[in-house]
Chain A
Amino acid sequence: MKTVAVFFGGRSAEHDVSIITALSSVIKPLELTEKYKVAPVYITKDGRWYMHDKLKDIKQYQGSGIEELLASIKPVSIDFDGGFSLVQSTRFGQKRMKIDIAFPAMHGTFGEDGSLMGLLDMANVPYVGCDLQSSVVAMDKILSKAVAKEAGLPTVQDVTFSASEYHENSSSMLDRIEQELSFPAFVKPPHLGSSVGVMKVIDRASLTEAIDTALHYDNNVLVEKAVANLREATLPIMGYGDTIIPALLEEPLFNSDEFFDFDTKYLRGGKGGKKAGGKMSGKQGAQGYSNVPANFPEELYAEVESIAVAGFKAAGCCGIARVDILIDEKANQVYFNEINPLPGSLYAHNWAKAGYSNVALVEKLIEFAIARFDERQKLITTFDTSFLKQF
């Protein structure tokens, strides 16, 4: 039986969301396949790695249990032994677990952003989801928009700049934003997910404040013109190579003058708060308050789906990702917005409606991971030369 290591937690603002993704949508379904031995690898907020069967139990994380458990076990270390093994010190020596497949279930920095994928590439182990390159593109809102534009996809008008450019002459940058975009607009730190640090601005004062906030999170800033008559849509997609499978278009429900910040998304169960669905769960999805499938006219649905799929391909995504779309309903204009390379809880609620059970979803994702790995094994990455003989 092959061992699948599921990585979750991590040094990220979305640490807790990652725990839910791993426990509800990855570990349990993987175990239910009865095909794999599942090793939970929990990464603490300060970056230590732990592996223990008790880490599969949500109750461990709901009180002080997790601290007590972690105090009783040793962190694991990594061994690149011609593959990828996790090594744990025990009273009786070392316990070594060879990992056959990795399943990253991490959101945000040091996990979803390509860092973990780079490590797994180095270890030459198959892993689920977007690879290093596509994760980097997807997790950078500026870069992903540039890639989408290059692919001919419509995007919302924006102004981007670095911290040093802003600090060099903030006044002229603010002037430029006002002239090119006008208000309202959105200020975003380009590398953070789950709307962390995103602010809606309505005048120069709020713009200045939002940029200062964004620069606490990132060295670059993306300011986007707000889309009027807004409807949003999001589309989970999975696939590799020629096989691209879109789930159902989902429309988060909220008024056009509002947007979902982290608190709304994860802590209040969507705009309707607890009454509308309570805390986030895998069944409800990150938004917890949405229409699946989106109630769009047939033509609009097809257009949104096609732009989302094109965005997935343009960024080179593989495995699974979720593409967000903005729509100006009156102008009938659809915009590519951003890509989330690891949707919360894999957006399992949406996939279930699209006909993929949780078990079928993880099985499919592992299929894609192995197909990509096998394909990459065929590539030549080294060759013999006489270069060193010159010295």
Chain B
Amino acid sequence: MLQATEYNIGSYLSWFHRTRDFSKVIRRKSLVYTQKAMLLVFIGIAVYLTTIIIAILIALKGGLAVLISAALIIVLPVIIAYLLVIPLVVGQYAIQKPKERRMLEAAQARLRKQHCRKIAIAGSYGKTTFKETLATILSETLHVAASPGNMNTPIGLANFIQKLDGSEDVLIFEFGEERVGDVKRLCELTHPNMGVITGISEAHLSSFKTMEAVTSTVLELREYLKSYDVYKNGENEFITAVIPASDHHLYSEEGVNGWKVSKIATSIEGTSFVATKHNKTIWAHTSLIGRHQVGPLVACIDIADKLGLSVTDIAEGIKKTKPFEHRMQPYTLLGATIIDDTYNGNLKGVAAGIDVLKSAKANRKIYVTPGLVEQGELKEVNHVKIGHMIADSDIDEVVLMNNSVTQYIAQGMKENGYQGHTRIVDEPLEFYTNLSHYVASGDVVLLQNDWSDNYA
């Protein structure tokens, strides 16, 4: 479980304190034997055997000593669970943190020498898709480098910066945030001169505690980039609550900064629309799925236009954009269309996905979700909302992974009179592995959200 929480001691201990039944906690992933994991396993076994030997030696004295030894053996698993944290903490302070500090300083020094367009992307959701889409479009004519995958921590970005060759025209950084001040720290590391705020939602609410804290952290990007362009998602209510509607950089499916959008058409094959500004017209077609893609795409169009790309290059670039792994990514299985949106982790994304499923033409529409993690105090409210959305969306079958939020989704479905079939699955891994047994030709199946073992 330490590995599942990426060796985050707080998350690990939180899981340990919350869990009552340890007999079956691994449902999704199994241990990968890395050096770190092997070392911890070795320490665990060594502590275990040493304690057993000590217990036996104590027990040899007889009388009360036997009881003490028995008690020691009984509580041994709990002791080991805590003892394993010690080498991690020591390792972090003695080795990892000084090493990280040196990496960050080197990355800052490296970036100071490179004068180019540096675009920072922050938000609770949609960052990776925006980053990849923008990089694909700008790469039509510019030399672009974007931070890979969802490497969005200071160390992740420092690693990325060290690999740059210095000739890039545009650098795109994805910013992750889990605590107040995270975005500001990343700004100080990368010194961006353009920004994008993709949206604010309840993701990571468990660590932020309040929505105000989430909002102010994401908006640290705007604070930092006072004199530069910052594009903001105008379809997000947390953003529109604090940004005036007159802001030219609020993007939506209607347009941004003078670009007007028309003729939007979406299907599970892709999305198309027309964007016009003065004498420029772009006929955009992408295989990205969902109407919610239009706003970010028109923001990308404006950025590309600002960086000097022609309308032809922009249209070509958009044509090359495609769904990213586990983000509204369609594939075919036995004639069924499976839309993999398992990296989606927020209510807005759930709504967008369900909207696509609702409008899809299908023999059966099947929706699969374990629910959302890290919803903090909104856990119940948000999952009841998901239940409402399901009930209102003409979905034939719903598959819920049995966990602590299932009851709330089921409650929402019941409240809005869901008429379809509900399947509650106890073994998610078994379900996903055997998906081919559940689907048939003509089905459209939306797999949303992910729920790793430490959230059970």
Chain A residues at the B interface, C-beta cutoff of 8 Å: 28-29, 32, 34, 283, 351-360
Contacts and interface: CB of A to CB of B under 8 A. Distances in A.
Interface string B301-336: 000000000000000000000000000000000110
Interface string B428-445: 001100101111111100
A355 B434 contact: no
Among all A-B residue pairs, the 3 with the closest Cβ atoms: A358-B437, A357-B440, A353-B441
A352 B364 CA distance: 12
B417 to A, nearest CB: 24
Nearest to A351: B440
Contacts of B437: 28-29, 32, 357-359
14 contacts: A28-B434, A32-B430, A34-B424, A352-B441, A353-B334, A353-B335, A353-B440, A355-B363, A355-B440, A355-B442, A355-B443, A357-B439, A359-B437, A360-B440
Contacts of B334: 283, 352-353
A32 B440 contact: no
Interface residues of B, number: 19
B425 interface: yes
A358 B423 CA distance: 15
Contact of A352 (B335, B423, B431): B335
A354 B430 contact: no
Given A34-B423, A34-B425, A355 B430 contact: no
Interface of B: 334-335, 363-364, 423-426, 430-431, 434, 436-443
Nearest to A24: B437
B438 A357 contact: yes
Contacts of B335: 352-353
Contacts of A356: 440
Q: Which of B431, B434, B439, B441 has the most CB of A within 10 A?
A: B441
Given A34-B423, A354-B441, A359-B438, 18 more contacts: A32-B431, A32-B437, A32-B438, A34-B425, A34-B426, A351-B440, A352-B334, A352-B439, A352-B440, A353-B335, A353-B441, A355-B441, A355-B442, A356-B440, A357-B437, A358-B436, A358-B437, A358-B438
A357 B443 contact: yes
Nearest to B426: A34
Contacts of A28: 434, 437
B24 to A, nearest CB: 15
A37 to B, nearest CB: 14
Contacts of B443: 355, 357
Main secondary structure of the interface of B (DSSP, over half): loop
A354 B335 CA distance: 10
Q: Which of A32, A34, A357 has the most CB of B within 10 A?
A: A357
Contact of A354 (B424, B438, B440): B440
A59 B138 CA distance: 52
A331 to B, nearest CB: 33
A351 B439 CA distance: 11
Contacts of A358: 436-438
A132 to B, nearest CB: 30
B38 to A, nearest CB: 29
Nearest to B397: A360
A355 B439 CA distance: 8
A352 B440 CA distance: 4
A34 B364 CA distance: 20
Contacts of A32: 430-431, 434, 437-438
Nearest to A29: B437
A354 B363 CA distance: 10
A128 B208 CA distance: 55
Contacts of B363: 355
Nearest to A28: B437
B230 to A, nearest CB: 47
A358 B438 CA distance: 6
A34 B400 CA distance: 13
A355 B364 contact: yes
A293 to B, nearest CB: 10
A269 B208 CA distance: 59
Contacts of A29: 437
Contacts of A355: 363-364, 440-443
A29 B363 CA distance: 20
A289 B319 CA distance: 37
Contacts of B434: 28, 32
Contacts of B423: 34
Contacts of A352: 334-335, 439-441
Contacts of B440: 351-357, 360
A360 B439 CA distance: 9
A34 B427 CA distance: 9
Contacts of B436: 358
B438 to A, nearest CB: 5
Nearest to B333: A352
Nearest to B424: A34
A227 B164 CA distance: 72
A360 B443 CA distance: 12
Contacts of A283: 334
B215 to A, nearest CB: 41
Nearest to B430: A32
Contacts of A353: 334-335, 440-441
Contacts of A351: 440
A384 B441 CA distance: 54
A356 B397 CA distance: 13
A355 B335 CA distance: 9
